[in-house]
Chains A and B, each alone.
Chain A
């Protein structure tokens, strides 16, 4: 059940009391915890590349593993990937919505929203039942940054909404981080510009934790040993989507063998499948 918090309530996030334009009230579906003081926002493009999605999931996972709450906006692409990553690692995550907490937008994220409400909270400054109107989304971005100690921009085009979140973060005195991407990709435009303007470059989660004076999690070794065709196929995979036929040609294996190997890798969580039977690496942890 959704509850209503005003700035006078004790449970109202302290960080939001101090921003320039605090919300009159917060509608919360789920629970806010003391641990949410240590929060980092992960935001970025809705039309993200497989690389961006993998990075956001990885960040969500690693931040959650270090006990950091992952804040984002439940949008398609990077936002949803960051939430998923945090949930996968069993951590806390908060989604700040631009509509009522009972109106999930985009609608296909309704199952994800239910899980988030169980392992964190859905937040909105709009009363329940408010439809998702365009002008509300830029405004809620100030809450995403306001709730967090820092904002990580993963991918974004020149005019991305993530730019608003980054601007809010600067006004509110939060740290801004950016993930570098391929120079040729249009989704690298925003993070690269932020980097030029002084955002901190992130090449591992330690970069974020160090800057925010947060303790790092115990390093874990999740080395997976691959053998036979699976190893051959995995070696050919990258963050560029490749069709199963291309992989077969590159590995010099027959179509059935590649098909079998890919399913094994997918079940192991090592590859992701995209529309059109195209495959990418699902995580980069063993590359970094």
Chain B
């Protein structure tokens, strides 16, 4: 007898329908899975057998063939356990298969028949809705995530036996009702800017970065608080709007990063991959999203930037411009979103103490030049703000002074972003992303300001590419100021964030 069960799998960030076809016929007793299964799918045989037996049903001693259609796409993961078990029971007449046509199923089976959570459910639920399927049976712990999709009944299933009871109509599972306003809000984040002591200059730079979507480079001795600042950047960005939250949740669901409870992600992601990260892990590969996609709508923090492999840094250049990354492999080409803010951090020299008042630097100028030279010009060019972070004196660390809280900074950031939204009218998300044409139009300088910038570039020996970056940052500073036109003061402040464009400074 033949049975067909609807299921789905994820490729890249999209889900596609998979039909699990089960045929039970004559021949030597065997269980065969075809349709490009990977190791985890092959092992499903043993889990499915045990789960069916422990749920109180039986696997007949006949030849069972399972096909995962379409048969030319590689299937991975344990999410087909449940549809295979249901298919076997339907094909052997232990279950009436009448409802299987209108239901999509997925879940990993435990040997005792209970159903374990799987990844990527949000994408799958969206695909099920597109197929106009009325109901979706999901593992219990994935229910709140799948329920973010409206217009489809989500049935949370604890065990295989319960699924069979539901499909046979004996004991239907009630559709899941999502609790109101689930998930932690943006203020529930465990980090806050009020914990940063001192560092007024760096705090201001982070505020500008957040307001204009600028990428930041933090330079400072070890222990000066670079990581602390970067971690808190996500807390002063505008809160995620609903479509963004869904997008982030979908990515994190596929990567298996959703916290327990599975509600939508409400806090902007913060990813900090180690400097040994490979190119594939950084941009994605093998059908999986990389770190830059996991940081979508959030912050990607690269600590110890010069220690990263050069090719890993170079592949960041294209996604930083295009906000998406396209990964081509022999079998398939996938496009992942990658609209992240980059925060890079590095020591000022190999020993880390250049410019430190308390510890003397032991590096020679050529060593310093070599170390800084590891960051390529084109990458440096994409970092709008360069901030030197000093070590905070111990007296300041114990002082009770509490800095401004993230929520207050965020209010100013949101106001500046609103000005940008009104100005660009949907053509550009933030000042950092202005095209050359928009820059000339919206970053127009008055005569005095233009003359000031020209003389500053000349006097300080700034490189030519600094010119556009300075205007971009100055535009954001003006937006924070509520000013219509970029003034000399805004430019002067922006110039101070171009440390790396200056000629090599005195090593003292």
Contact = CB atoms under 8 A, between A and B. Distances in A.
Interface stretch (A62-70, A210-218, A238-246): A238-246
B496 interface: yes
B506 A50 contact: yes
B455 A267 contact: yes
Interface string A266-278: 1100001111111
B96 interface: no
Contacts of A151: none
A250 to B, nearest CB: 12
Given A256-B477, A278-B355, A244 B201 contact: yes
Contacts of B204: 255-256, 259
Contacts of A82: none
A108 B355 CA distance: 19
A248 to B, nearest CB: 5
B396 to A, nearest CB: 9
A241 B508 contact: yes
Contact of B459 (A262, A267, A277, A278): A267
Interface in B463-508: 477, 489, 492-493, 495-496, 499, 502, 504-508
B203 A255 contact: yes
A266 B365 contact: no
A107 B366 CA distance: 8
Interface string B426-465: 0000000000000000000000000000011001100000
B390 interface: yes
B470 to A, nearest CB: 11
Contacts of B499: 277
B187 interface: no
Interface residues of A, number: 32
B388 interface: yes
Contacts of B220: 276
A11 B365 CA distance: 37
Contact of B456 (A108, A263, A272): A263
Give the contact-size bracket for chain B: 35 or more
Contacts of A254: 200
In this complex, the member of A107, A243, A249, A264 whose beta carbon has the largest number of chain B beta carbons within 10 angstroms is A243
B322 interface: no
A96 B296 CA distance: 58
B393 to A, nearest CB: 9
Nearest to A248: B200
Interface string A151-188: 00000000000000000000000000000000000000
Given A50-B506, A256-B477, A263-B456, A245 B489 contact: no
A76 B502 CA distance: 19
Contacts of A266: 459-460
A245 B198 contact: yes
Contacts of A245: 198-201, 390
Given A106-B365, A108-B369, A276 B354 contact: yes
B78 interface: no
In this complex, the member of A53, A107, A272, A277 whose beta carbon has the largest number of chain B beta carbons within 10 angstroms is A277
A260 interface: yes
A49 interface: yes
A144 interface: no
A276 B496 contact: no
B390 A48 contact: no
B357 interface: yes
Contacts of B354: 275-276
Contacts of A273: 502, 505
Interface string A3-39: 0000000000000000000000000000000000000
B356 interface: yes
Nearest to B219: A276
A76 B390 contact: no
B456 A275 contact: no
A100 B348 CA distance: 33
B199 A263 contact: no
A52 to B, nearest CB: 9
B505 A275 contact: yes
B496 A274 contact: no
Contact of B365 (A108, A241, A262, A264): A108
B459 A256 contact: no
A264 B459 CA distance: 11
A53 B496 contact: no
A53 B508 contact: yes
B495 A263 contact: yes
Nearest to A268: B459
A254 B366 CA distance: 36
Given A53-B506, A108-B365, A255-B204, A277 B492 contact: no
Interface string B388-410: 10100000000000000000000
Interface string A52-64: 0100000000000
A259 B201 contact: yes
Given A50-B508, A256-B477, A276 B356 contact: yes
A274 B506 contact: yes
A125 B508 CA distance: 31
- 10 A-B pairs with least C-beta separation: A276-B355, A275-B355, A277-B388, A255-B200, A260-B492, A263-B492, A255-B204, A243-B390, A259-B496, A244-B201
Interface of B: 198-201, 203-204, 220-221, 348, 354-357, 365-366, 369, 387-388, 390, 455-456, 459-460, 477, 489, 492-493, 495-496, 499, 502, 504-508
